[in-house]
Structure 1
Amino acid sequence: MFTTLSDKLQKYLLPMANKIGENRYLQAVKNAFLISLPFTMFGSLVLALVNIPYMEKLMGAKALAQFQAAVTPIQNVTFNLITVVVVLGIGYSLGKSYQLNQIYVAICALAGFLIVTPVSQMTEGGTGYSLNNLGTMSIFTGILIAILCAEAYRFIVKRNLIFHMPDSVPPMVADSFISLIPVGFVLILCILINIFFGMTAFGTFNHFVYQMIQIPISRIGSSFPATMIAGVLCNLFWFFGLHGNSIVYNSVLSPIFKSLSLENLAAFQAHEAIPHIITEEFAFYFGGFNGSFIAYPVLICIFLFFRKKKAWKSLGEVAFIPGIFSIYEPIVFGLPLMLNPIMLIPMLLTPVISCVIAYAFMYAGLCPLCTGVSVPWTTPMILSGIITTNSLMGGVVQIITIGVLTVLWYVFLKILYKQEEGSENEKGAV
């Protein structure tokens, strides 16, 4: 039955998932966030460092304030300008995909984004861009404008509406003249967008996108049921040997969860109330999206209760180090969990239980919300919980979750153990 179902999934769902995953725009957005990763991760480490609990008692209030002020520029360029990095990344990625001049497409995307971004009047005179309009508040605006600018640039180039230069002209000079008309078209288009929305009740394109697109999408993506269902779908795909995280998370949910994380991070920086329970960090380190809540309970069960089964013990020894760092493919394909009907139930229940426990603790105020501080997805459990919540309770919640899930997995591993032992005894009797 499961083989037939797997074949049907391979036939119908996998091509659909591949098509979504290979979508040019989704790929560009994903690549842009990957480009931004070193900046946000380094900024997260610095932010976590300056906000270590009890740091004020260790350094003194004045020294801590001076230290925090000194590293503020790092936070500005890694978090408060995140949309600028994403816009450049999308422009570059789409330019490369369309075999255009990547640097010109990237700068066009940035210029277009700055045109539609409102300019603020400074208190000391003059004008400038508010960091709020270059950071998380404008992430969806940046994505849309970057895609629009890249497509507008491509529209002109594809129709050969460019200056053609002789071969004797140096390449850099030729590129400048070739890009003149596409660049002009993109900038004029963005000016028209700016003028149009200036005549509406929204005032700016940024405000329109934030109110009509970013807020509704974020509310849907940050809902508890949506997160739980996404986690179940991830593990369902893994059950059939498909990379659930790539299909469910990377292709669809990544931009939504990242924007929620960045909003939490902005609030954490400003020492304000953190707005969202559901974020990328919640999904990965509390909601079971990265496989640790399968790897840890299974490995605990193997080493504590099923050491006598040589095959499982050997698997545990091989999977132990990868499992600590959230790499659970050896367990999925080695135990195996894949296409194992007994294992389907705990696989589907794992994200449900982990989400319920973490959400309940955070909703009740017993555990701080994820601050938006980013850590590598291979960060071991407990440590990841402490860092992402800036609290020991984050690690405690992970320990509780692992404990509950260990009981769940023990029940089903015991069933599998007895089944395999029975089969081996029958073979021995024959």
Structure 2
Amino acid sequence: MNRFISFMERKFVPVAAKIGGQRHLVAIRDGFVAIMALILAGSTGLVLKNTLFKWIPALGGLIPICDQVWWGSLAIMTLLVVFTVSYSLAKSYEVDALAAGIVAVGSYFATLPQSYGDAGWGFVHWQYLNATGLFTGLLVALIATEIFVKLVKKDVTIKMPEGVPPAVGRAFAAVIPGMTAIFTFGILFLIINKLGGNSLYDVIYQTVQKPLQGLSQGVGSAMLAAMLINLFWSFGLHGANILDPIMNALYLPALEANAAAIQQGLAAPNVITRVFFDSYIHLGGSGATLALIIAIFIGAKKRKEYREVAKLSAPLGLFQINESVMFGLPVVLNPMLFIPFIITPGVLTLIAYLATASGLVPPTYVAIPWISPVGIGAFLATGAGSGSWRAALLAIVNLVVAIFIYLPFIKLADRQVSKKTETSSK
């Protein structure tokens, strides 16, 4: 095991660190974080509409408020992400981030058809703006921003004389880079249209996004994703942050598709969504470390340092915060905990998948705060409806399963202390 850890530290960690710090991936991650307030607002609206406002007839008149909040948040998620990702990327290059974000939004609209079905000219269907458009939106945001940044860096700008207010100077400096970016996507739309395609969105959705989302709904790919997050963490790299762009691109559309279906009174089409992992797998944080803390309280009799870290980390673990365990125990680069830390999320993903796919628990469709405690998060993520208590119970069952996975390894670590004490006494 030590030889394996040493090999991974030499070969895997440097590559993973570069991936985690890659400028475009960081911009995507920060872009999603920036719209979290609106995602939570839209999800709260869905919960209220389908629970409290539906259960109490006197509150039924407030349902339109929830519909409008959803329309102003989840229904336009791609549009929001295009701006925030472009803004974050441009900011990392130290150019005018606001102008870049505006140009990216305009560029995205330049790729969309100006009519939909039998609707007349000037109609933009909401499918282009909700989470199903994320792949296309992210691609356009990154390319438009790169065009904008490169032209600004090469000083291909309109220069204003001294004495002009800074805001005016920045606006004119963005004219040529901004026009170049948006015309690029206007030309691209014409080419796709002449070749028989409807839009860039349709081409990407049919050839890339739809196959990838179908693959992501497989239990094997979900288990791999959950375990890969922990593999990064095992070497001191923030696995959740590194894989966030990929997880959001694959599983946020699934969450939004479920939410849209529930909104229309239909069955949710997806088993695995972004909050599926927060509800059933990341119990106490990546690796279900709340279970590790409980296992320490049960099985660590000799390892006083484990118990002290567990005591300090338990209150944080209740709210899914686990850095103190990761680096205080530590879990990072700990050969004794490497195996349970990696296999636990895979096992929990399998259990949660089977329970959801079989209909034992309702599918997740509500974005929840990642700090939601075990059970409560699953209850809210499934809409707090009549079947949500089973989702909460599933989260608790998964926590118990994780405790049993960790417990033998904690006891083994405890015995090592006893053996060392016996050896030193001789």
- Do they fold alike, i.e. is TM over 0.5? yes
Counterpart in the other structure of 1:299? 293
Report if aligned partners of 2:216, 2:222 keep a CA contact under 8 Å in 1.
yes
1:318 maps to 312
CA positional deviation for 1:112: 1.1
Cα 1:206/1:157, change in 2 over 3 Å: same
State the distance in 1 between where 2:347 and 2:71 align. 37
* CA–CA separation in structure 1 for the residues paired with 2:66 and 2:187: 39
1:289 to 1:245, Cα distance in 2 relative to 1, 3 A: farther
Percent of pairs with identical residues: 27
Q: Distance in 2 between matches of 1:292 and 1:166?
A: 54
Secondary structure of residue in 2 paired with 1:165: coil
Structure 2 residue runs without a partner (length 5+)? none
2:111 aligned with 1:148? no
Return the match for 2:210 from 204, 209, 215.
215
Instruction: Report the TM-score when normalising by structure 1.
Output: 0.89
Give the CA deviation at 1:108: 0.8
Taking structure 1 as reference, are residues 206 and 406 closer, same or farther at Cα in structure 2, changes over 3 Å only?
A: same
> Quick one: structure 1 residues 12 and 312, their matched pair in 2 at CA, closer, same or farther if it must change by over 3 Å?
closer
The reply on whether 1:349 has 2:346 as its aligned counterpart is no
The one-letter amino acid of 1:56's match is K
The residue that corresponds to 2:415 in the other structure is 418
Partners of 1:418 and 1:309 in 2: CA distance: 9
Q: Structure 1 64/307 Cα, relative in aligned 2: closer, same or farther at 3 Å? A: farther
In structure 2, the residue matched to 1:15 is 14
Normalization by structure 2: what TM-score?
0.90
Partner in structure 2 of residue 88 of structure 1: 83
Partner in structure 2 of residue 392 of structure 1: 389
Counterpart for residue 112 of structure 1: 107
Higher mean displacement: 66-75 or 407-416? 407-416
Moved more, 380-389 or 323-332: 323-332
Which amino acid in 1 is paired with 2:402? L
Give yes or no for contact 1:267–1:273 (8 Å, CA) kept in 2: yes
Please give the alpha-carbon distance, in whole angstroms, between the structure 1 residues aligned to 2:300 and 2:14: 39
CA contact (8 A) 1:118 1:133 kept: no
- Alpha-carbon displacement from aligned partner over 1:285-305 (angstroms, at most 9, x marks no partner): 223386366323233333345
Partner amino acid, structure 2, of 1:51: N
Partners of 1:385 and 1:395 within 8 A in 2: yes
Map residues 14-413 of structure 1 onto 2, 5 A cutoff.
Answer: 14-52=13-51, 56-57=54-55, 59-60=56-57, 63-120=58-115, 127-247=122-242, 249-250=243-244, 252-288=246-282, 291=285, 294-306=288-300, 310-371=304-365, 373-390=366-383, 391-413=388-410
How far apart in 1 are the matches of 2:38 and 2:309? 37
Q: Could you tell me how far apart the structure 2 residues matched to 1:159 and 1:329 are?
A: 42
1:341 deviates by 3.2
* C-alpha distance in structure 1 between counterparts of 2:284 and 2:225, whole Å: 12
> Residues 314 and 100 (structure 1 numbering): CA distance in 2 closer, same or farther, change over 3 Å?
closer
State the AA in 1 paired with 2:131.
T
Q: 1:192 offset after TM fit, Å?
A: 0.9
User: 1:215 offset after TM fit, Å?
Assistant: 1.0
Q: CA RMSD in A?
A: 2.5
Deviation at 1:75, TM superposition (A): 0.8
Question: For residues 120-157 of structure 1, what are the alpha-carbon distances to aligned partners after superposition, in whole Å with 9 as ceiling and x for unaligned?
Answer: 36989763222222112211111111122212223433
The Cα shift of 1:80 comes to 0.7
Mapped to 2, the partners of 1:202 and 1:374 lie a distance apart of 34
Contact 1:21–1:251 (8 Å) recurs in 2: no
Contact 1:92 1:105 in 2 (8 A): yes
Q: How many residues align?
A: 422
The residue type equivalent to 1:380 in the other structure is: P
Distance in 2 separating the partners of 1:22 and 1:338: 19
Q: Distance in 2 between matches of 1:175 and 1:332?
A: 45
Moved more, 352-361 or 282-291: 282-291
Whole-angstrom CA distance in 1 between matches of 2:271 and 2:231: 24
Q: How far 1:89 sits from its partner (Å)? A: 0.9
Q: Could you tell me which amino acid in structure 1 is paired with residue 337 of structure 2?
A: M
Offset from partner CA, 1:343-384 (integer Å, 9 cap, x none): 23222221121011101101111011111x222222110001
Task: Note closer, same or farther for the CA distance 1:161–1:417 as it changes in structure 2 (3 Å cut).
Answer: closer
Alpha-carbon spacing, 1:19–1:300, altered in 2? closer, same or farther (3 Å): closer
Aligned pair in 2 of structure 1 residues 285, 293: CA closer, same or farther (>3 Å)? farther
Contact 1:292 1:323 in 2 (8 A): no
In the alignment, is the contact (CA less than 8 A) between 1:80 and 1:131 conserved in 2? yes
- Structure 2 counterpart SS, 1:273: coil
Q: Is contact 1:287–1:351 with CA below 8 Å preserved after alignment?
A: yes
Shift of 1:39: 0.8
**What are the ranges of 5 or more consecutive residues in structure 1 without an aligned counterpart?**
none
CA pair 156-405 structure 1, distance change in 2 beyond 3 A: closer
Contact 1:29 1:255 in 2 (8 A): no
The aligned amino acid for 2:413 is: L
Maintained 8 Å contact 1:289/1:351: no
Letter in 2 for 1:323: G
